[in-house]
A and B are shown apart, each in its own frame.
Chain A
């Protein structure tokens, strides 16, 4: 399982990416999807997910719609136009970040370390 601290910084990008690929999603669905795609390596807790979703709503990146499913209200989250734009940007950022981290972790591409 991947430690929470590592997930924390990229959580917003992951959520935006998932919402970009699916028309609309509810909170539980997002956690399940992340669990499934990462084959259980990333587990999103309630505590991590909902603050981010509400922040995105406040920023205007997503809108919510309530619907009665299985006798209870369910809140669906959906990207707005500006949300779709920022999703693309965040995903690009995240990819760039991963590339950089890769380079950092394998610095000897093309070079041999100087050993005396």
Chain B
């Protein structure tokens, strides 16, 4: 009978452990079994290498993994249920999300519900089941805190993304806390726990995780609009791409001859991450929104100019309906001003006086995240819009009383202050005046619209007054 020496046994042991066999004493079982098989072959008079390759052909490295998975399937009921549900629900959720995205792009009905359900299943079922399976296959109790933190951070982050897509309140906080959990709890813990046992070079491993931490910190700063975000993002991604990946490649991947699939996946995922990071740090979105500011200030200036002119014109006009019109114009102007202050207050969560100060100083932060949903009557029982609508209609009537000819009576109000329902989109949806202007609107365009109306009110008042001054007959 041939007997393997220590060196040969060590070779088999390394191969079995590389296959990721770590459940209970399964690896001991398999190592002994493989050694016995090799010895049997060698008794026929062939060399160790030949005998080992014959035995390897029988099971294959993947085959060993399969044995472990079969064992888990047979023994662990939870594992069995999780694995089955993960596959079906995972596929279902992906399909739902893909269709949801397609419907969203096409503006077809049902997009939101599909996305929400898809996200829900991914977050609540697929993701935890996936982590549980990875945890069970790893079979290392010490890793439990890592998986719990990963679960917590991941779930918070994904729910945050869902909220963001649906414009639900609290999205930023969820994304921020999810990223924070991963960034400041999970990654440091991985560094502490894993550098001791990892087969990868410790310095490289720590470098990779640290640059990932910097990158994620940058991302969370970005979401919270804290200064320094762009710098962190750039530093993090540059270290990842220019330092970690090349070193990791030359040290680890080049060693083994076969290109491993998970390495390719890793690189693709990383490049998506980096591109996203650079896009965020470029600040494109914000610059677009800053343009609204310029437009708004010019509306304000012309409105102020017209207001001065109107006072001048109005001094000689004393008829009741003229004074009524002027008063109504002032009322609308002030009311719109107060709505604008409400928007600022909503963003900064401050008192009215502070909001007035912030708005007048022009130092507001305009971002792609500040929606004015709270202005809509369906979201807010104290919405100011119905009153504004009513006041505008009063103004229209007063304006029409001043003119005798029908062209002048209708053109101006129709162009400037129509409060009728509007038709939008390819499908000719009819939406209310409020929704048309403020639904899914960002803070900057909403402020812009309001300033335009203030200007329009002054313009209409000016037209009415100057007509009366030029044609005193009408007065």
Contacts and interface: CB of A to CB of B under 8 A. Distances in A.
B26 A50 contact: yes
Given A64-B25, A70-B35, A74-B32, A47 B75 contact: no
Given A28-B37, A64-B25, A73 B32 contact: yes
A46 B67 contact: yes
A64 B29 CA distance: 11
Contacts of B33: 27-28, 31, 46
The 5 closest A-B pairs by CB, nearest first: A28-B36, A51-B71, A51-B70, A51-B74, A73-B28
Interface in B426-444: none
B29 to A, nearest CB: 5
A72 B35 contact: yes
Interface string B166-200: 00000000000000000000000000000000000
B26 A54 contact: yes
A110 to B, nearest CB: 42
A51 B73 contact: yes
B42 to A, nearest CB: 13
Contacts of A69: 32
Contact of A54 (B3, B5, B64, B74): B74
Contact of B4 (A51, A55, A64, A71): A71
Contacts of A70: 3-4, 35
A75 interface: yes
A58 interface: yes
Interface in A69-90: 69-75
Interface of A: 26-28, 31, 45-47, 50-55, 58, 64, 66, 69-75
B66 interface: yes
Nearest to B72: A51
B74 A27 contact: no
B32 A71 contact: no
B28 A75 contact: yes
B73 A46 contact: no
A47 B28 contact: no
B31 interface: yes
Chain B interface size, under 10 / 10 to 19 / 20 to 34 / 35 or more: 20 to 34
Contacts of B249: none
B77 to A, nearest CB: 11
A53 B24 CA distance: 12
Interface in B28-77: 28-33, 35-37, 59, 63-64, 66-67, 70-71, 73-75
Contacts of B412: none
Nearest to B63: A47
Contacts of A26: 32
Interface string B70-107: 11011100000000000000000000000000000000
A52 B74 contact: yes
Given A28-B36, A54-B26, A71 B9 contact: yes
A27 B32 CA distance: 8
B411 interface: no
B474 interface: no
Nearest to A53: B29
14 contacts: A27-B33, A28-B32, A46-B33, A46-B59, A46-B63, A47-B66, A51-B73, A54-B74, A55-B74, A55-B75, A69-B32, A72-B4, A72-B9, A75-B28
B74 A75 contact: no
Contacts of A51: 67, 70-71, 73-75
Contact of B32 (A53, A58, A72): A72
B6 interface: yes
Given A50-B67, A51-B73, A72-B32, 10 more contacts: A28-B32, A46-B33, A46-B63, A46-B67, A51-B74, A66-B25, A70-B35, A71-B4, A72-B9, A73-B32
